[in-house]
Every structure is written in C-alpha cells, then in structure tokens.
Amino acid sequence: MSDFFLQALTEVGSPAVMGLIILGVLFGIVGGSIPGFTVTMAILVVFPFTFAMDPVSGVSLMVGVFVGGYSGGIVSGVMLGIPGTPSSITTVYDGYPMAQRGEPGRALGIGVMASFLGTLISVAVLVFFGPLIASFSMNFRPWEITALIVFALTLVAGLSNGALLKGLLAAAIGLLITTVGYDRNSNLRFDFDLPALSSGFEMLPVMIGVFAFSQLLGNIEKMRDEGTNGKSVDTNVTIPYRLIMKDMAGQKLNTLRSSLIGSLIGALPGTGGTVANFVSYDQAKKFSRRPEEFGKGTPSGIVASEASNSAVAGGAFVPTLALGIPGDLPMAIMMGVLILHGITPGPMMFEQNPVLVGAIYASLLIGAIAMVLCNLLLVRWFAKISLIPQQILVPVVLMLCAIGAYALNNNVFDIWVLFIFGVIGYLLWKAGVPLTPLILGVVLGNNLERQLFRALELDPNWLTFLTRPLSALFLALAVASVVFSLYQDRKVKRLQQATPSP
Amino acid sequence: MLTLTKDRALALALLLIVAVMWVESGTIRPPTSWQPYGSALFPRILLITIALLSIIILLRSLFTKVTPQPSLGRAITEWFLRRKTIVALFFLFGLYAALLPVLGYIVATMSFLIASFALLLGIDTKRKWAINLGISCIFVPLVFVIFRFGLNVWLP
C-alpha cells in the first residue's frame, strides 16, 4: 500500500502534473462559478485535452477540475445569489444574505475553508473504504455484477425528481445506444447499412451531446424566458482571515458531520452533491442551538453546505473505483475518462493499477490545497468571471465541445454524433426525461451486457440470478428502490392535491 | 380529437423507434450452436422495456386532464417560433459540422462563432461587434495552437 502511494506521490508531485492539477482546479472553480456551467460541463470541456496525456497526468487534471468545480459554486452563490452548481443551492441561503449585509469576503472565506476540510475528510473516507469495498467485491461473479448494475440504474432512475417512469426509460435508452455496432461476438447490430455506424457510438460525443449541448441550449432558453444575465455586483472582495479562523474554530462538529454526510451520500449511486447539500444543511439546522439564524447569513449554514458538497467528491470515488459503478453524473464522466485511458474501474483496478489509484488520492489532496490557495488569492477574479453572460459562453463552449469530440479520433463523424445526440438530449429534456440515467446507461451498457452474457454462458438458467444470495439481494434492492420511488411520487402528489392552490 | 401532449408525443415517438429497431434486430446474426443466447437478446430486452414504459406513459397521459390546444400544425409552428433562437443555433452547429472538413478549422470555426455571437448577442451596436470579433479572433487561433502544438492533435 505505502509503496504504490509513494510511487504515485512521486508521479503526481512532479512539476508538470502539479501544474496540471492547479490548472484543473482553476478551470473547475471558473466552471463552478459561472451559473449554468456546471462541474459536469467543466469536466466534459477539459476531457479532450487529456487524450494526448498519460493516464496519471490526464486523471490528475480531471481530479483537479472535479475538486475545483465543487468549490466553485460558492462564488456565484455568494456574489449573485445564484447557485453556480446545483450542489451549492443551500450555500445561497446563508452566503448571499451575509454578502448582502456587507461581508462577502467572510462568506466566501468560510465556504472555501469548509470546502477544503470537506474534501480532506472525504479523501480519508476514500482511502479507508475504497480498498475494503474493492476487496469485498473481488468475490463478485457475473451474476452479482449484473444485478449491481441493474440496482444502480434503478436507483438513479428512481431519484430523478418524481419521474420514475421517464428515469427508467432514459436508462434503457442509454443502454440501447451502446448496442449499436459490433458486439463482443463480432456480430453487427443496428448499423442500418451505414458503414459509419458499424463501430458504434463513442461514449464522449454521446455524453457531450446529451448533456452539455442540451444544457447549454436550455440555459439560452431560460435566459430568454427570464431575462436574467449580467447582474451588476460589487466584486471588490477582501477576505478577513482572522475572523474566518474564529468562525471555523466554532464549527468543528458541524464540519465533521457535514463532511461525513457528504462522503456517505456521495458514495451512494445516483445521489450526489445536491442531495448531500440539503441533508447536511437540514441536519446542521436540527443540531444547532440557534436554528432561527439559518437562512439569514449564519456561518453554520455555509459550512454545512460547502463541507458536504465538497466531501461528495471523495465519497463518489468509492463506488466508482471499487465497484465500477459511478456515484453521480460527474463521476460517470470521470469513469468515461478512465475507460478512454484504457483503465477499467472496478475491484481489479486496486490490484492492476495501484499507482493510478494512489495518484487519484494524491491528486485529491493536492487539488484540495490548490483549491484553497486559488480561491483565497484569486477570489476577486472569480467573482468577475462569474458575470460572463451566457450569450458569450454558449458558442465558445459549443465550439470546444465540437473540437473535443473531433480530437477523440480525428473524425468529423463524432461531431455529427454530438450534434444528433444534442438534438435528442434537448428533445428528451423538453419532454421531462431526466438525462443522468441515460448517461449512466451509456457508461454502464457494455459492462452490463458483457456480465449478463458471461453469467448466461456459465449457466443459461435465469433463475440463478435469484438463487445466488448477493445477486438476489441487489435485485431485491432494485425492486425496492422502484417501489419506494413510486410511493414517494404518490405521497408528493397527494400532498400537492391536499394543499389548496393560492 | 386527441390533443398531442409532451408525454404522448414522447411515447409515440419512442414506440415508432422501437418498431423500426425491432425490425432491424431481425437482421442480427442468430446464435451459434455453442451460444445459449444470441446477440439480439440484450437489445431486444431493452426494446421491450422501452416499449412497455412508453405504453404506460401513453396510457397514463390518456387519463390526465389536458387543456385543449390548437391544431397539431399550429402547435408545432408555435413551438418552433418560441424557440427560434435554439433552432437557429442547432442549424448553425449542423452547418459548422458540415463545413468543417471543407473549409478547415480556422475558417469554419471563426464563421460559426461570429454567426452564433451575432445570433445571441445581437448586431445593433459597434460594441457588440467588437466583442464578437474580439472573442472569435482570440479563441479560434488559441485553441488551434493548444491542440496542434501543445497536444499534438491535428485539426482539419
């Protein structure tokens, strides 16, 4: 363990890789600070730049973006009152009122420190639980892995904001996309006599098209409808370091609790930063001696929100690295990065690529330190960047997406794939179909089919999935997650009907 | 007459796609003697799942009250008119993908950015034109240099 970690530290500690992590953190913060430009999109835009890099450099850069992105949401949340990312919604509750009463530097400083501590605690969780889960899952056979993937997909679909049916539909569409082209037995499927389709769709252009394209156009639509953009705010921010240290000293328990909540929720497939954000904010309020101060600019609220959403970063790596099941959307993209670099996340990764696992740990740690320094030193600039209007951002990001898709194979067909899936993603989004299960389906599709067929080749009896205890448990959990979502949907509908409309 | 809602349009479109893909799945090579199941099994399971979910969504939409809407043609026209900027941006991107191999990266990308900024920012003031041309002229060569010389990726 220590040998591979030392080797990883040597690789990650080289000036070139350190520079990449800092660049990644900077870009992540910028991405997180611009409302409408999420962590996921920042990862997607940077992703193509890693093609020419070795796996350690590429993954380190992406981890930097990931760490920076989760902390970046605080800037626009505090300065504009608009959460930069969905995972920093509750930061606005207290950060914005604090900034409004003339203390934006204090709000930003508390948020940054909480983010830093949240990331550190989540790395500890990853280091401790990652190998444990990986060694446990080494016993998984194809039946268990198939059932686990099905469970992850139903869980993500079920958590899609009361749209269970559409969530399941999205997951199935995502899986279906992966069946185009040659399969593992070299049989051609769904090529419609078009040679370009014989090699199937590359994961990256599909993900960029479905997610980034539709979201960017959605931002334009929202901007047109609401007429929001280019708020005028004072970006002249000074960080009161002593006051922040005093504030943080009184938040030890809150920081630890919120970080653990974030790590735990991050490790659950399908949840992610937004859920962690609300749960830890709620818990901080319940445990507080002065709950009436929440929502009016209390440091406790900012700490709960930022510690938890940053802790999601480390937590989400646990199932991704140990099981090959991404915890949330940014993690699904991260998994795509690893796959494109020839690394298959899962229990074997700890045995076959220990240096890379160590590099991820080290990058998270270095990224957290870089994040604090960048945020505290350059906060004024980030505040200015958060004001970039969508009219300028969207064409530039679309261009970068197109070039990124092209650079994957130096093939214009991939730009067409991006375009077509952009249209599909936009239409599905307009029809209320959640896109996260679709992307997860695209990421997990090939593995699901491979494991299913391996299971059926070993034993053609489908009932074996139910007679093996662990696979039966995962399938039962999958059914339970669907039933629970249905129950939740009904409960929400009943509550809505019972509440008289204004 | 039945009103076309979002859910109904989604379900019907998916059922149509499932039907086409089901027919196409018939061309997939059948399993060999040593294979218990063939290559068509997995996609067919997914097609059946999508069809079932689409039918449930369609049936559910039939039991949901909807406000009467104008004729289908008018509804589609209104939908496009409300989103003319989005539709135009999609069109520009499609045009960009088509022209990229013909014109090359620099000319095609610069044209795409200038046209997109003009669409989104407007063209009514000199300041907007300055922003448009300034960003287009900085970003396009910058990205070219990064990819070509920094990452050794050849752009068209």
pLDDT at residue B19 in the model? 97
Average pLDDT over residues A448-457: 92
pLDDT tens digits, one per residue of A98-129 = 988 888 889 999 999 999 999 999 989 888 88
- B68 versus A226: which is more confidently predicted? B68
Establish if A435 touches chain B: CB-CB under 8 angstroms.
no
Establish if A197 touches chain B: CB-CB under 8 angstroms.
no
Average pLDDT over residues A7-19: 88
A109: enclosing H helix or E strand:
helix A104-137
- In this prediction the ipTM stands at 0.91
pLDDT above 50 (res A502):
no
The whole-chain average pLDDT of chain A stands at: 85
Q: Which of A58, A77, A61, A54 is nearest to A23 (CA)?
A: A61
Q: Residue A25: CB partners within 8 Å, gap ≥ 6?
A: A64, A65, A67, A68, A367, A370, A371, A374
Average pLDDT over residues A409-420: 91
pLDDT tens digits, one per residue of A307-353 = 998 888 788 888 888 888 886 778 888 888 788 788 888 888 888 88
pLDDT at residue A227 in the model? 53
Do strands A181-182 and A188-189 pair parallel, antiparallel, or not at all (unpaired)? Answer: antiparallel
Distance from CA of A213 to the nearest CA of B (A): 9
> What percent of chain A clears pLDDT 70, i.e. is strictly above it?
93
The whole-chain average pLDDT of chain B stands at: 88
List b or e across A123-136, with b for residues whose CB sees 16 or more CB atoms inside 10 angstroms: bbbbbebbbebbee
- B115 versus A272: which is more confidently predicted? B115
pLDDT above 60 (res B107):
yes
B139: enclosing H helix or E strand:
helix B126-145
Residue showing tokens 């994961």: A203
Distance CA B11, CA B110 (A): 40
Contact list in A for residue B21 (CB cut-off 8 A) is: 176, 190
> Which residues of chain A from 158 to 177 reach within 8 Å of chain B, CB to CB?
165-166, 168-169, 172-173, 175-176
Average pLDDT over residues A246-255: 92
pLDDT tens digits, one per residue of B8-35 = 999 999 999 999 999 999 999 988 877 7
pLDDT above 80 (res A476):
yes
> What percent of chain A clears pLDDT 90, i.e. is strictly above it?
31
pLDDT above 70 (res A231):
no
Residue showing tokens 């369609």: B58
DSSP letters, B91-111, are: HHHHHHHHHHHHH-HHHHHHH
Q: Which of A199, A196, A203 is nearest to A412 (CA)?
A: A196
Nearest residue in A to B49, CA atom:
A172
pLDDT at residue A98 in the model? 92
Contact list in A for residue B86 (CB cut-off 8 A) is: 217, 220-221, 426
Helix axes A164-177, A142-158, angle to 10 degrees: 130
pTM for the whole thing?
0.85
Burial of A192 (0-12, 13-18, 19+ CB in 10 A): exposed
What are the helix (H) ranges across A324-389? 329-340, 347-352, 354-385
pLDDT above 60 (res A230):
no
pLDDT at residue A357 in the model? 87
Burial of A351 (0-12, 13-18, 19+ CB in 10 A): exposed
What are the helix (H) ranges across A13-54? 15-33, 39-46
Q: How many CA atoms lie within 13 A of A36 on its CB side?
A: 26
Query: Of A168, A187, A460, which is closest to B28 when you measure between CB atoms?
Result: A187
pLDDT tier for residue A383 given thresholds of 50, 70 and 90: confident
pLDDT above 70 (res B71):
yes
**Beta-strand runs (E) in A380-468:** none
Query: Of B6, B49, B85, which is closest to A172 when you measure between CB atoms?
Result: B49
Length of chain A: 502
Helix axes A390-409, A214-226, angle to 10 degrees: 170
Distance from the first to the final alpha carbon of chain A: 61
Cβ neighbours of A88 (radius 10 Å): 33
pLDDT at residue A248 in the model? 92
